Amino acid sequence: MLKSNKSNEDIINLLEIFDIQMSKIGTEIILNRREFIKLSDESQTIHRQLTSGGEELLDLDYISNVDFYGKINTK
């Protein structure tokens, strides 16, 4: 794209469109991951019911570098 004969203004406009599209897709990914976290809690309960007397524990962890409230965790 940068090697094409398009003007710099056209390239900037395309990059803005790509940024918007990537932001929307990123938001969908984060929201789906939040749903996964909710499902992991439910799966723990179901697993406990299915296993021998609840002796086994199911633990699913998802650690994100993005805070769900908009901050980026850089640790």
CA atoms within 13 A on the CB side of 21: 6
| 39 occurs within a structural domain | yes
Residue 31's domain spans which residues?
Answer: 12-75
pLDDT at 63: 76
| 3 occurs within a structural domain | no
Judged against a pLDDT cut of 60, whether residue 74 lies above it is answered with no
Judged against a pLDDT cut of 80, whether residue 5 lies above it is answered with no
pLDDT at 25: 93
Phi, psi of 66 (to 5 degrees): -120, 125
How many angstroms separate the CA atoms of 36 and 61, rounded?
10
Number of structural domains the chain divides into: 1
For the stretch 11-70, pLDDT in tens is 888 899 999 999 999 888 888 888 887 887 788 888 888 886 767 888 877 777 777 665
pLDDT at 64: 73
| 50 occurs within a structural domain | yes
